[in-house]
Structure formats: C-alpha cells, structure tokens
Structure 1
Amino acid sequence: MPALVLLAFGLLATGLAGDNQPGSRPVDAACRVLIAVAALALLFRRRAPVATLAVITVATSTYLVLGYPYGPILLTFLLAVYTVAVRLPVRPAALAAGGAFVLLVAHVFVARGPAPGWAGVLPASAWVVVPFAVGVVVRVNRESAARTRAEEARTRAEQARRQADEERLRIAQEVHDVVGHGLAAISMQAEIALHLLPKRPEQAETALTAISRTSREALDELRVTLGAVRQGAERGPVPGLARLPALRDRLAGAGLIVETRVTGDPRELPAAADLTAYRVVQEALTNVLRHAGVTSAEVTVDYRADEVTVEVTDRGTGTGTAVLDGGDGHGLAGMRERVEALGGRLDTGPRSGGGFRVYARLPVEPTT
C-alpha cells in the first residue's frame, strides 16, 4: 500500500515541486521511470530490506544527479532507510544506511546543473540519519515490548505451575490426613478384634462393626477430597471443628478415649481456619493412637476474639518429633505448613510431666 501511494504521489507532485525549484530539470519520461522504480521497489521492503534500499538509493541518487527537483522520491528513500533500521540489527542496518548515504550525497558534488557542494552534505545526511534513528528506536521498543510480553507469559506460566503444585500438595496433605487417620483407627480396631476373636467372638463383632464404620467414613471423606481434582466437580463441605464429636466417637471405637473441652465463645470460623484446626487435632490424635501407648488424650479448643487455639495432650511414652511424624516425616511438616500458611503458629514437644503436647494458634477475624 505505501508503494502505490508514493508512486501516485510522486508522479503527481514532482512536477509541482519542480515549479518551485528554478534551475531543476523538468519532469520527463526518465524522471517518471526513476520515480516508479523507487516506489515499486517498496513492495519488497519487508522480504528484502537491504536489496530494496539499494535499488531505491541508486534510483534516487541517479534522479538527483540528473538534476530533477527535490520531491516525493526522497520520501520513498526515507521509508527504505527506516525499514532497514526497523528490521535489521543495528550493525548491519548502520552499514546499509551508511552505504546509502555515500551514494545519496554524491549529487551534492556531481550533478547536472549547480551542485550545492559541502553545504548540501548536512541536509542530505538528514534523509538518512533521521529515519535511521527513528527506526532503531522503534525496533528497540518492539523488542522491549516482546521481551516484556515473553516475561509476562513466563510469569503467568510459572504462577500457574506454582498454583498447580500448591493444589497438589494441599490435596496430598488432605489424602494423607484422611487415609492416615482412617488406617490407624482400623489397624487398632483390627488388633482388638483379633485379640477377642478366639476367646470372646461375640465381642469381636463390635470391633469389626467399628472397622466397617470407620472405613466407610474414611472412604466418604476421601471421595470428597479427591472430587476437588475432577474438572467441574463441586467440592463438598470440608471438615471442621464441628466434627470433633464424630472424631472422638470413632477413636473411642479404636480404644482411645478423647476428652474434649471448649472454652471461649464458639462461633463459625473461616473455612480454611476451621479445616486446619480440625486437621491438626485429627493428626495429633492419630499419632497418639499409633505411638503414645495410652488409652486417653485431651483436646482443648479455645475461641478468642481474634484467634482460635487447639491443644492436644496425652500422657504417653512418645517424645520428640519422630513420634509426632509417625516416622514418615509428613505429620509434623503437614501440620506446620497448614498452620503457617494461615499466619498461625504451631508448638510441639514433650510435656514436663510426661507425654506430648501439640498446640496451634490460628488467627481469625476479630469478633465485633
């Protein structure tokens, strides 16, 4: 499109330019041919910018040496220099523009009619320097914008990967908590059933019933958790402190008596804080069941104005993080990650009088 516009403009306006330049050679067929060659060469400026500049420079220089008037053909030359500066790296673009300048400046010394001499060098150089500088600036801005877009795309991709990793980790923690607790309770109940079966088979039925109920509840909770990974699946309600009585009853069937105590003003908590508090209690009680060697534990939930705390204690033989982690490193790490992700704090360790203590503080919105 620029080629055709400049062709038409050159053929129509060059004669008018000559009327205002006394002493210039009148427009003739050779002048029109040179204008047409320069304009039509622009059709190839994107595919072959250097070759296009070379053809236009030769045509323009010949045009000026023959003494034709300064006119639209110089706009064609200007666009060719700009294209080279935009499409090529600076060094080869500068070499091409420099060669074009040498040819273009020839007319100030050798021309049909009066030659401007050295006084014409500076005006002639403007037709090279200005479009070249503009082209370089445009090219640098384009490259900068491209780098910015690429960086933004990499940032978005990295953020998406990080979010996916965090979601997988969250689901892995949920599965660990659900399966770990369920299997610990089932294992304890199975040992009770095996112990009672030879001597009192009628009492073993109670333990087997508890195994059936525990496994069913664990599978239901696991199904809800895994439903989060199915695209378009709506997530069911997440567990919270309101399910502590059910957790206590399930552990009672496994032989662990849990005493719960609630202080403060019980209220509905944000879903994330409610789930985290429940999981801390669940994981701590699971480790008591597995490793403490006792039949009782205490759970205290304290609702405060701007936080909720949960504490799980026992008087068993377990000490140190190895017991709390269940030997696999996930228990303590999972608890701590959950709590710290919400800006809370987790304290764990042996009690001075024996046993173990897990204490978590979770910030919540202040009550009004």
Structure 2
Amino acid sequence: MRLLHTSDWHVGRTFHGRDLLVEQESVLGGLADLVSDERVDVVVVAGDLFDRAVPNAEAVAVCTRVLERIRAAGARVVVTPGNHDSAARLGLFGGFAAAGGLHLRTRIADLAEPVLVPDADGPVAVYGIPYLEPETARHALGVAERGHAAVLTEAVRRVRADVAARGTRSVVLAHAFVTGGEPCDSERTIAVGGVQDVPGGVFDGFDYVALGHLHGQQTLAEHLRYSGSPVAYSFSEARHVKSVWLVELGPEGLAGAERRLLPVPRALSTLGGRLDDLLLDPDHTPVEQHFLSVVLTDRVRPLDALRRLQVRFPHAVHVEWRPEGGRTGELRFGDRVRGRDDEEIACCFVEDVRGEPPAERELALLRAAIAAAAREGDG
C-alpha cells in the first residue's frame, strides 16, 4: 500500500496580507498528479486543512476542487482537524463524505475507529486523532491530569488497544508538537501552562505516524515524521524545501518513506541595505519576483519605503528599519524623559522614530502644539 503524508494545508491563509489561494490551489492540485504517477492508495492530511475555524467561501471552493482532483486520481483521503480548524464544522456530513472516499475523522469519541483500507496483504487501519485541546479533551477522555501529553497518551492508548484487537497494520494521524521537532514562526503556539511537547515514545508500536503542526518536514524516527506545510507561510521558512512523504507499507509494516518535492509558486527572499542602493543594484534582479522581506539601514527612515520598493519588487511585503549605527540597547521610558522638558521629549521622540532631529519648521510646530496644550491645561 502507498500512502501520501501531507499536513497543514492552511487553505485560505494570507502571506503578509497577500492572498495565496492561487498558489495553494496550484501546489495542492498537483498532489493529484503524484497520486496518479506513484499509484498512491491513500492521501492523509494531518490537521489544519483550513487556516481558520470558519473559512470563507473562496477557501472552501479551492479545497473542494483539490480534494475532488485527488479522488478522481484514485486515492482515498483521510483528514483530521488541527488547532486552526473547527472539528465540528470540518466533520459536518462526514458520514456522507465517507461514502465517496473522503474520510473526515473529527470526533474524539471516534478516534479509535479506523478507516480500513484493503490491499493485497490485508487491511490497513488508518486512525485519525483530531487535535486535542487539553482542557476539552481531558473531560471527553476521562483524564485527570492536565496537558497535551496526558490527553494524547490516553488517545493513543485507545488506538493501540484497537490495533491489538484487530491485528492489522496501522497508520496514525496526529496534530501535535512532538519533542525534538523544530518549530518556525508561522505556527500558532499550542502551549498550555508553558508546556506543549509530547514525548515521541507515546507513538511507539505503530507502523507509521503521520504528524502535523510543524511546518518544516522532519524525521523524528523512521516511523514518526512531519510532512510540513506544502507552502511557506513565513520568512522563517525561506530555506525549507517543501515536500510530502510517500510511504510504502509492506506485508510486515513500514517498508520505507521517500520525499517527493513540491513546486514553489513564489520563492521567499530577504534583502538588507539602503533604500536607494536596493532600488538600483543589478545584483538584486534575480529576486525581483520573489516575496521579499527587507531590512533598511538608512540613517534616516525613508518615507513611503514599501511603496517605493514595490516599484521594482512588486512582491515586497515586509519592511523593517534598522539604521546603521543605531542603538543596541533601550532605556526605560522613565530614564529617557527624566530631567527633560516637553520640547526636549518631543524632539527626542521625532529623532528616535525618524533617525534625525526635527527641522526648524517642524520644531516651530512642536512648540506651538506644546504651548497650546499648556494653555488648555491652565484653563
């Protein structure tokens, strides 16, 4: 049996305000070609199919078209919700969807009931553990202890008992932060009381565990892997090589897992330097069509910097100003204003924000404003 492990589609997510639906449909729709070319039997999505609990109509339409293409290519699809999804909404009409080969495993009560997928060596039991919010899940699972590890341990115990009773090969989907995984900036924290890790040993004994939540592809053990997100959602993912796992199950269990690279609809890059240099330097031609994060080092904050950058780099989406020779530390507010009059405080603020002191005309305006405020206070 061949299984394609994906997760964290986040359909409907934006990138620094830019809509990504076209890029997402391009990449995700290509999974159907992988299904055909690699003779994939099952595609799994280990959480966060959508980016929000109530996705808009356009995101739902994109997701529907992608899932229809995958089904038409011949694979069953098993989906579990993540911490971004709404389990209740995602599972709506799940019973009807299963008849068409789309299995939505969203209910805690059903987590030990697998999707049974037959092959020449007998059935494979595919279990979908939805994202378990600790406070909600511990009551549903009858767990006294708080935290992610406690509720997931109980959920896996129930799954393991069902696997033992059936004697089948097993695949488990779970959306969690497993100890040893490397996070990036685009994941929403799932920490409870400062703790979000779940020990990898919780998942011992299964043929394959398809993890979701972390956006970089990772191998924690031969049977325990993150597929990562199919599209980059932060500049911290600029060096990620987006891909999915093609997993092979033989008669005795896991026979191997191989990466299959995904296309990059628009690369991510970062630039730094003075604004005028960035706009003129021919060395930056290769990144003109990339999503760009730019750090400006001008001594004075440039006006309307993002709009000016977008003349050359239309997909520049993020700008920071870090002036050359700027302060390396910050004083407390009280220390900054102690012993200074209103005019000095106002002028220092302008200089801090812009990188140069106010001009004479601006200084006159500041003095007039301070005087007017003083007269109003006296009145």
Range of TM-score over shorter length: under 0.3
Q: Which has the larger radius of gyration?
A: 1
User: Hey, which of these two has a bigger chunk of strand by percent?
Assistant: 2
Taking structure 1 as the reference length, the TM-score comes to: 0.25
User: Hey, which of these two has a bigger chunk of helix by percent?
Assistant: 1
Q: Kindly indicate whether structure 1 or structure 2 has the higher relative contact order, using CA contacts under 8 Å at least 6 residues apart.
A: 2
Taking structure 2 as the reference length, the TM-score comes to: 0.24
